Each structure stands twice: as structure tokens, then as C-alpha cells.
Amino acid sequence: MPSLDIPETLEKIDLDLPWNVLVHNDPVNLMSYVTLIFRRVFGYSREKAEQHMMEVHKRGRSIVWTGPREQAELFVQQLQSHLLLATLEAAR
């Protein structure tokens, strides 16, 4: 069934695209708490975690990780479990 090959191929390409995990600013979460969560979830150094935290604070959002979609979804779930405003989007 050749007609089915096209969507399958497209789907594969889509899944293979890198995805960004974003964290958005909110006035509630403490800076120290956000830094702690970044260190825990991504294993970042304190310095790198603080850089992302400051980017969230000053620019309203930060791309905290980029990679395969499945892993990105898992990270968003983990961040949301700590009540951080996290989303994912295709890195295009």
C-alpha cells in the first residue's frame, strides 16, 4: 500500500526533529527552588542551572534542554511535577 508510505515517512521525520523544553517565568517560584529543580532534573552544574534560572527570570522563558521528543516530554512532566511552567516545542 504505497499511499501509506508518505505519512509514515513524515511522521518519522517529525519524531526525529529535535524538541525544545521551555520553562516560563512566573512570579511565585523561588529562584533558589527553580535552580534546585534544574540541577535535579537535568543534572546541571549550579552555574548552568542558575544561568537558565536567570534567563527565565529576565527574559520570561528559557530553553533548558533540546533533544528527542520522547525525552523532552519526560522532562516536561518532571518539571511540571515540581510545578514549574514547562512546555515543549519543535526546535525549528
Partner 1 sequence: MKLQPADDGALMLEEIPPFLFHLLSNITVRASSRDPRVEARFFPDPAREESLIEDWKSLVQPELQFLFQSARETVQADLRGASVEDGMYSMKIPRKHADAWLNALNQARLAIVEESGFGEEDMASEVEPDLEDERAMALFEISFFGFLQECLVRMQE
Distance CA 54, CA 74 (A): 23
Can you tell me which residue has the cell 517565568?
25
Q: How many helices (H) and strands (E) does the chain have?
A: 4, 3
Q: Is 42 in the site for partner 1 (CB under 8 A)?
A: no
Site for partner 1 in 9-28 (CB under 8 A): 26-28
Please return the burial class of 64, using the count of CB atoms within 10 Å of its CB with bins 0-12, 13-18 and 19+: buried
Segment near partner 1 (CB under 8 A), from 4-12, 29-37, 48-56, 59-67? Answer: 29-37
Does 76 participate in binding partner 1 (rule CB under 8 A)?
yes
68, 19 Cβ separation under 8 angstroms: yes
Q: Tell me: does residue 66 bind partner 1 (CB under 8 A).
A: no
Minimum distance, C-beta of residue 1 to partner 1, in the bound complex (Å) = 23
Binding site for partner 1 (CB under 8 A): 26-30, 32-33, 36, 73, 76-77, 80-83, 85-89
